[in-house]
A = this chain, B = another copy of it.
């Protein structure tokens, strides 16, 4: 089929029609209405399991219904810990009792409301521990290596780590792996506080009592209800004992403000921390341990609560069993005007506009499924349980999943399956940036070019005329779709222009949003235009707009990266061992300071990437063949096109590893996964890359074979499309 140059998957004639449809769609999007939605849905604290949470789910359900959609609640019953006891005291050398309480301000009318979840980290263990305190920087594996060099051990200690650099759940997990018995996490003002700008309520940054709540579930093992891994947590589901759930932590965890952290950190003794570890508090940052001793007590109510997913559908006219799925969560830690309501409001605006189009006679070719998830905050509970519940159907029917979450002023942030890169590139050129009037593609490119450090990179960015999709780790509701089922996925949003410290605090409110984020809601409209186009174009495409050439190119880059990583490790380990063998560490060390000789690094063996590289080449060839085939197919051959469409959206499933990734079988995508030690941060070619990073050469070999097999499988799947009679 000769495709329109601007609209992949459409012929010239249908492209024009689609563009008219999108114009009408845009006319129904109203910034003021988005603002109204944000205000009303964030009016009260509405976390999972709360009465207000249920009220929000029902309000969303009513909206979908009022827009003409077929909508219902799908309810699961999930474990959800909420605070019973939270206690933190410095008991020596001086005394201090942590406040653990954010302050209400008249400038923020919802900040003093009843029903707020106290500041806590969900999924930490119940515990009552007293021990010396050790500061562990961001609490990542490298930080403990650095501590070991200084002769500092956290065994039997309570650690205090800064928020940042990783998903928060990694910090207590790594602390536990190193023998710590408790974990405190605080927001340093260097990362989020006066160091960045004026603090709340004068400015948007964290004041000295603001706290970031959040889940610390070990969700890089599996997300969703810890008691029902891989299956839906229906009322009658078979559940694990809590003690059997590998994603619930083994030590107590508590998040605190920098005001509460200051007396603790000030009391630390021991070596001064490395320069990169130091924050912005006016103290000498030291590692501990020593006289500074703390008492930490945390207990939760471990209740099973209902999670209300709102599911709205509009049946497709031509392919009712091909689903284009769109989602955003509705639960918040507190009021959540930004996270998640700003994204949800845009999504509801899309649904409203599509409803209005439908009233005027429009019918999508494929079925639209609009979802508002519950329980995202405590680790993607609602979406994961729904996907696990509907897994079989989704394997058959899910064309793509398009996610959003918090949204604000700034630049397009788009991640997802690279087979949709070309498709998103087209959309990004068709949506105007509300502030500058150029396309959101152009504005993002300008920003990327300006921010790139090196002149070479700047020039390369300016020359590139297509959007680059980032790869997805985790952190929002796309995980189960992409990483468990390999449903082609997009995650869309705007941001980067207004930073602030409201995230997961009582100040993520309408007042904060209007003052410091997208005050005129024009980026809500931009998100609705962007995600709405993605939905409508996928829904109506004659041939689904997947392009596996982009995926082939991107995977080729990932292979280059893991090769380079291996070479770097080889060089690094051999240089490190040369330093050790030449006694350089010993000679360079200050004899007045305590110091531990680093242990020798394993030598990196030769690793054979040939088969993997060959697989990528054959994927690239198969993708090119498929593109030629699709361009030459006569548009009249309806039956062939139907067969091709079905094959196209299911092709990415070939990348699924049936047995899953090592140590976490729930994650099955061979190209994208959250990092085992980064959390939200993605690891591409995760099996191979993480085995190399962890010096596990046997596993690296096995994972190389697995990845090679999956990439070859995708190439064959594509070949089957072109070679079918």
Contacts and interface: CB of A to CB of B under 8 A. Distances in A.
Contact of A284 (B198, B462, B574): B198
A579 interface: yes
A523 to B, nearest CB: 12
A278 interface: yes
A443 B435 CA distance: 59
A587 B436 contact: yes
Contact of A458 (B283, B443, B446, B578): B578
Nearest to A459: B575
Nearest to A593: B497
Interface stretch (A107-115, A320-328, A447-455): A447-455
Contact of A587 (B442, B576, B585): B442
Given A459-B574, A574-B455, A272 B197 contact: yes
A195 B284 contact: yes
Interface in A394-450: 435-436, 438, 442-443, 445-447, 449-450
Nearest to A198: B284
Interface in A562-593: 568, 571-572, 574-576, 578-579, 582-588, 590-592
A28 B449 CA distance: 65
A39 to B, nearest CB: 22
B196 A579 contact: no
Nearest to A410: B590
A358 interface: no
B284 A282 contact: no
A582 B197 contact: no
Nearest to A455: B575
A446 B284 contact: no
A458 B578 CA distance: 9
Contacts of A584: 445-447, 449-450, 462
Contacts of A578: 458-459, 462
A680 interface: no
Given A197-B272, A579-B462, A281 B282 contact: yes
Given A436-B587, A447-B587, A584-B450, A458 B284 contact: no
A280 B194 CA distance: 11
B455 A194 contact: no
Contacts of A436: 586-587, 591
B194 A284 contact: yes
Nearest to A190: B278
A252 interface: no
B272 A582 contact: no
A355 interface: no
A195 B286 CA distance: 10
Query: Majority SS of interface residues in chain A?
Result: helix
B591 A435 contact: yes
Contact of A446 (B195, B281, B443, B587): B587
A189 interface: yes
A236 interface: no
A639 interface: no
A195 B197 CA distance: 20
Contacts of A590: 497
Given A584-B450, A587-B443, A588-B443, A579 B284 contact: no
Given A189-B282, A280-B280, A281-B282, A575 B446 contact: no
A456 interface: yes
A587 B441 CA distance: 11
A195 B578 CA distance: 33
Interface in A543-557: none
A449 B284 contact: no
Contacts of A588: 443, 446-447, 449-451
Contacts of A278: 195, 280
B282 A579 contact: no
Nearest to A262: B282
A34 to B, nearest CB: 19
Which of A280, A459, A497, A576 has the most chain B CB atoms inside 10 A of its CB? Answer: A280
Contacts of A576: 455, 458
Contacts of A198: 284
A435 to B, nearest CB: 5
Interface in A177-227: 189, 194-198
Interface string A24-67: 00000000000000000000000000000000000000000000
A197 B268 CA distance: 12
B455 A571 contact: yes
A459 to B, nearest CB: 5
Contact of A579 (B435, B442, B450, B575): B450
A334 B462 CA distance: 57
A446 B282 contact: no
Contacts of A282: 189, 194, 280-282
Contacts of A445: 584
Nearest to A575: B455
B449 A582 contact: yes
A213 B152 CA distance: 39
Contacts of A582: 446, 449, 462
Contacts of A592: 497
A210 to B, nearest CB: 15
Nearest to A452: B575
Nearest to A189: B282
A432 to B, nearest CB: 12
Interface of A: 189, 194-198, 272, 278, 280-284, 435-436, 438, 442-443, 445-447, 449-451, 455-456, 458-459, 462, 497, 568, 571-572, 574-576, 578-579, 582-588, 590-592
5 closest A-B pairs by beta carbon, nearest first, are: A446-B587, A455-B575, A446-B584, A447-B588, A282-B282
30 contacts: A189-B282, A194-B282, A195-B284, A197-B272, A280-B280, A282-B282, A435-B591, A436-B586, A436-B587, A436-B591, A446-B582, A446-B583, A446-B586, A446-B587, A446-B588, A447-B584, A449-B582, A449-B588, A450-B584, A450-B585, A451-B588, A455-B574, A455-B576, A456-B571, A456-B575, A458-B578, A459-B571, A459-B574, A459-B575, A497-B592
Given A195-B284, A196-B284, 4 more contacts: A194-B283, A455-B568, A455-B571, A462-B582
